[in-house]
Amino acid sequence: MIGLSALEGFSYVVFVLFGADVNSRQRMQTAMSLGMPDRVPLMCQMSIGHMLLNLDVSPVEFWWDAGTFADGLIALRDRYDFDGVLVSLHGHDTDWRSRVLRSRLTPEGEEVFWRDGSRTVHARDELPRYLPAGDAPTGPEKTRLPDRLEYIPVTQGVRFKIDLEHEFDILHLVRRKIGEGISLHGEVTSPFDYYLDFVGHQEGLLGLIDSPAKAKEILDHFTRLVRDCAVRMCATGIDAMKVSSPYAGAGFISRGFYSEFVLPCEAEIARAVRSTGVHLYTHTCGAVGDRLDLMLSAGISGIECLDPPPLGNVDLSEAKSILAGRAFIKGNIDSVNVLVDRSPDEILADAKRRIEVGKIGGGFILSTACSVAPRVPPKHVLMLREAVERWGQYEPTLSIGGGRE
């Protein structure tokens, strides 16, 4: 069976000739292939805090239960009319409730007490906090390197355990629920994050200087595991894969260290994913203006975030000149300094500027730079839909110039 990406150019010509509507999945596919669809697509990643604050759902159920998580993702996608949905967690444990000793409501959300003596505090506006049992070590687990990816390092001190028997159930579930007309994206985490999680963030950064050979040995191991997981995930029928790489910006490591310790790992994953016909984009927040060329050299399809000042240091017009015709851009609206408390007119003006620069030549997806921040009012997110409808239209054409596989 011929995949959607192989038909995207032909499909667009047919839609122009016969006046048929382009669905969200086709729109995203054309943009990710560096083409110009009917209009600029819109797709934002949402923070856990934003989703919890805007869903009538238990924070515990939302985090641990695949069905609840899937329904929440889809409900907000529908509400904001995004052209795609990102599934950021996979491998939900179907038997997680059997590990719960008790739970209680708190002013912030919910707290779960596990049978092993540990507990997890689930706030409604941020990621959960894991607290080990009283006699358990609080540092990273310096044990043997795993044979398969057994967890997702969500943030420092927080891991999401993967049920390997149900590794990608949620991706199949979300596809069934959204149908074939919406773009579906999966996510894996950069080997650099696994390295920092395994040895500890402070020890890991120092290890790049003091023990580079050992650091590369651990990175190589996790690269193989992430690559294999990514290839298996591609077989679920996702349209694109995000590589979450938040610790690879200039605020953490230099351009030289990025080239030595991050780039080879992510390049290997990119080659494997792209060989399956699935698009792959890198998510690195913060200051990346000095390494866009290195990120591009990994063979990725696109880059997400491109945080503008003050969150980062990327000017969209400069990024466009570097990446145009070579990688798609997904960004770069400041979710904190623009979407939280700017006026409606200011938000629309900011979105208009991003669209007018980004849409030139195609290959652009309007998005918040990083995730939609927890306290962003939903009405402000909805303005982005208004913006792409008003200013994101492309002139009809029979040429798909710039598209690629």
Q: Which of 13-22, 63-72, 369-378 has the least mean pLDDT?
A: 13-22
Residue 11 confidence (pLDDT) above 80: no
Instruction: Tally Cβ neighbours within 10 Å of residue 239.
Output: 21
C-alpha span between 142 and 150 (Å, rounded): 15
Residue 65: per-residue pLDDT: 97
Domain ranges for the chain? 4-91+145-391
C-alpha span between 361 and 381 (Å, rounded): 25
pLDDT tens digits, 76-102: 999 999 999 999 999 999 999 999 999
Q: Which tokens is 98 given? A: 């059997």
Q: Are 332 and 305 in contact (CB under 8 A)?
A: yes
Q: What is 4-91+145-391's CATH topology?
A: TIM Barrel (3.20.20)
Q: Which residue bears the tokens 């290997």?
A: 268
Residue 396: per-residue pLDDT: 79
Cis peptide before 396, with omega less than 30 degrees from 0?
no
Residue 32 confidence (pLDDT) above 50: yes
Residue 374 confidence (pLDDT) above 70: yes
pLDDT tens digits, 155-187: 877 899 999 999 999 999 999 999 999 999 999
Q: Read off the pLDDT of each residue in 51-55 and give the average, rounded to a whole number.
A: 97
C-alpha span between 18 and 380 (Å, rounded): 35
pLDDT tens digits, 297-319: 999 999 999 999 999 999 999 99
Q: Which tokens is 368 given? A: 């918040």
Cis peptide before 332, with omega less than 30 degrees from 0?
yes
Q: With bands split at pLDDT 50, 70 and 90, how would you rate the model's confidence at 135?
A: low
Q: With bands split at pLDDT 50, 70 and 90, how would you rate the model's confidence at 142?
A: low
Counting residues of the chain whose pLDDT is more than 70, the rounded percentage is: 91
Q: Are 317 and 344 in contact (CB under 8 A)?
A: no
Burial 183-202 (b: 16+ CB within 10 A, else e): bbbbbbbbbbbbbbbbbbbe
Query: How many Å separate Cα 174 from the centre of its chain?
Result: 16
Residue 136 confidence (pLDDT) above 70: no
Q: Which of 3-7, 125-129, 181-185, 376-380 has the least mean pLDDT?
A: 3-7
C-alpha span between 3 and 330 (Å, rounded): 23
Average pLDDT across the chain, whole number:
91
C-alpha span between 85 and 397 (Å, rounded): 28
Residue 133: per-residue pLDDT: 86
Q: With bands split at pLDDT 50, 70 and 90, how would you rate the model's confidence at 195?
A: very high
Residue 397: per-residue pLDDT: 60
Q: Read off the pLDDT of each residue in 59-66 and give the average, rounded to a whole number.
A: 96
C-alpha span between 213 and 142 (Å, rounded): 17
Instruction: Tally Cβ neighbours within 10 Å of residue 169.
Output: 18
